[in-house]
Amino acid sequence: MSDVQLLDKNQLIEVLSQTKTATAIHIGEDALIQMANQAMLMIWDKDQSIIGKALEDALPELKGQPFPQLFKKVWLEGITISGTETAANLKVDGEIKTFYFDFEYRAIKNEFNQTICILHTATDVTDRVINRQLMEEYYSKEVALEREQALNEELASSNEELNAVNEELSQSQEELLALNETLERRVEARVKELTASENKYREISDELAAINEEMAASNEELVLTHEHLKNTFDELEDKEIALRLAIEAANFGTWHIHSESREFITSARLRELFGYDAAHEITIEEALGQITEEYRAYVAEKLENALHGNGDYDVSYPVIGFKDKKIRWLRAVGNLKADKSGEFSSFTGVVMDISLIKKDEQRKNDFIAMVSHELKTPLTSLNGYIQLLQRKAIVFQDNFVNSSLEMAAKQVKKMTGMINGFLNVSRLESGKIVLNLSHFSLTDLIGVVISESRLMEKSHNIDFQSCERTPVYADYDKIGNVIVNLLSNAIKYAPTAKNIEVTCTIINQRVQVSVRDHGIGIGTKDINKLFDRYYRVESDNQVSGFGIGLYLSAEIIARHNGTIWVESELGEGATFYFNLPLHNGNVEL
Ligand code: ADP
């Protein structure tokens, strides 16, 4: 051992500098560089000039990095600090780059445990770290890729699923839309329907309310009507009793005919009046059979007319009793009443014995006929004497005598007319009036009558509008009497209004004549009775007359199958009409 010489300090440093491991020795707090071998200088990218410099001066890029502080700690505390794969930024080729080192700072101490220097070793593991990092990066990328792929696949399948769901959704959406549309349409239609029904309901409601009100009102009315009816019914009952008593007291017969079944219900008294036993039920035909032949057809016609026409029935006729063969004059008055069903009518009436009245009338008629006849004889001779005197008076040319005679002739004519009227009535009533028929022109006859009237009555203006052809087959004198009657009435009952218009028209194979005046007219209550025998309208300034002119005229026109009527209002004048059937015959008129 003794011949082996120990290495000095410089030799030791030389040895250290030969090691492959990068080695440096630092002293003091600032890590002054005592020694750095070639390997360390390569790491630092420095040369020997840095020897003797503080660490931070030699490597200024280390400022702010942890290494200077670590050196200070090792120096002051005499410890060892090491690190693996620790990053350090170093300036190499003028550029700051990051390197990785396994390093150790070891405090070297003397025998007094004082730190004399710091041994600094470092191995550059930058390649290893970077390789690993790259590997790691690559690996992580791969994993990431795989993951991405898996994810992508998942995504794709999810996408597909989504697409399918989407398609389903869009289909469902379309379906929904369609459904929605139909629903909307249905809702719209329903709303319309509902609005219409609501309106209708409202209308019905209003109507119902109105009906209800009406019903309430009607109900009240019904209650009142019911009370009224009850009273009326009681009254009717009283009246019926009174009527029955009256009928019994007056000895009237009663009858009832059903218009459709012609059932004939008669009272015992009626049957007696027709000469049957009171207990013997009779038919209409049996009753008609007892009426004298002359009147039978006339009564039957009146009865049919009343049953199916106007319902008026008031006829007088003689019957020959079935058993006793006695002649009795009967008057039947009836009234037709339609049943509530409207299907048939009831014809009810009374029959009274007017034989006594008829006998009285006959006596009166006989008396009038006799008196008229007796009066006519002196009147005829009076008329003769007046005509003689008139002829003689022409010679004297005495106006007074002439006009007095004219007046006397007029009065005699008037009187003759009256007496003839009475005679005609009595003839008519005893059925002795006979028509003396001939062919003549009615217009011509009217013309003649008007001329005569103009001569007799100069007070009025008679205007005549004739028509062309008016052939009739009638009693010339009697139709003439009718026209005279109508004209003299028009004059008599129009004392102040002087115009009279006579017209003649052809209507439906009939010639219609009208006589219109502008006189006093006739009131409603009298108009229907005007053609009755002896009927005269009551008035203050009575005009002379007996009420037989119109009666006779009506009878004459009726016997010619014509019609006579009047239209008038009180104070408005009157128009009398009659018509006769046109009769062409063989005679050219
Ligand atoms: P009289 O002899 O009374 O005129 P008539 O039978 O001719 O009888 O007439 C009956 C009644 O009818 C008359 O009393 C009169 O009241 C009324 N009368 C007839 N013609 C007319 C007329 N042109 N204007 C108004 N009243 C009339």
**Closest residue to atom 8 of ligand 1, CA basis:** 547
Q: In the chain, what are the domain boundaries?
A: 9-124, 138-247, 252-353, 359-429, 437-588
Q: Is the dihedral of CA 244, 245, 246, 252 positive or negative?
A: positive
pLDDT classification of 585: cutoffs 50, 70, 90: low
**Closest residue to atom 7 of ligand 1, CA basis:** 549
**Closest residue to atom 19 of ligand 1, CA basis:** 489
Ligand 1 probe mutation, 530, 539, 544, 569, most atoms within 8 A of CB: 530
Paired tokens of 274: 């027709």
Distance in Å, CA 205 to ligand 1 centroid: 64
**Closest residue to atom 18 of ligand 1, CA basis:** 489
Tell whether ligand 1 has an atom less than 6 A from the beta carbon of residue 545.
yes
In angstroms, rounded to a whole number, what is the distance separating the alpha carbons of residues 475 and 478? 5
Atom number, ligand 1, closest to the C-alpha of residue 520: 25
pLDDT classification of 456: cutoffs 50, 70, 90: confident
Q: Could you tell me which CATH number the domain at 9-124 has?
A: 3.30.450.20
Tell whether ligand 1 has an atom less than 6 A from the beta carbon of residue 493.
yes
Distance in Å, CA 535 to ligand 1 centroid: 8
Tell whether ligand 1 has an atom less than 6 A from the beta carbon of residue 449.
no
Distance in Å, CA 489 to ligand 1 centroid: 6
Q: Residue 60 carries which DSSP code? A: G
Give the C-alpha distances (Å, rounded to integers) separating 271 from 130, 254, 276: 159, 9, 5
In tens, the pLDDT along 529-565 reads 999 988 889 887 677 888 889 998 999 999 999 999 9
In tens, the pLDDT along 276-335 reads 998 988 999 999 999 999 899 989 988 888 887 777 788 999 999 999 999 999 999 988
Res 1: pLDDT: 47
pTM for the predicted model, two decimal places: 0.49
Q: Is 252-353 the same fold as 9-124?
A: yes
Which CATH fold topology does 252-353 show? Answer: Beta-Lactamase (3.30.450)
Which CATH fold topology does 437-588 show? Answer: Heat Shock Protein 90 (3.30.565)
Distance in Å, CA 401 to ligand 1 centroid: 34
In angstroms, rounded to a whole number, what is the distance separating the alpha carbons of residues 572 and 521? 5
CA-wise closest residue to 424 among 482, 359, 474, 380: 482
Tell whether ligand 1 has an atom less than 6 A from the beta carbon of residue 417.
no
May I ask the CATH class of domain 359-429?
A: mainly alpha
Distance in Å, CA 437 to ligand 1 centroid: 27
**Closest residue to atom 21 of ligand 1, CA basis:** 489
Share of the chain above pLDDT 90, in %: 46
Which residues, in sequence order, are CB contacts of 120 under 8 Å at separation 6+?
23, 24, 25, 26, 40, 103, 104, 105, 106
Residue type, position 66, single letter? P
Contact between residue 105 and residue 74 where contact means Cβ atoms under 8 Å apart: yes
Mean pLDDT on 454-476: 89
In angstroms, rounded to a whole number, what is the distance separating the alpha carbons of residues 67 and 46? 18
Distance in Å, CA 318 to ligand 1 centroid: 30
pLDDT greater than 90 at residue 343 = no
In tens, the pLDDT along 185-214 reads 888 888 898 888 888 888 888 888 888 888
Which residues, in sequence order, are CB contacts of 303 under 8 Å at separation 6+?
284, 288, 313
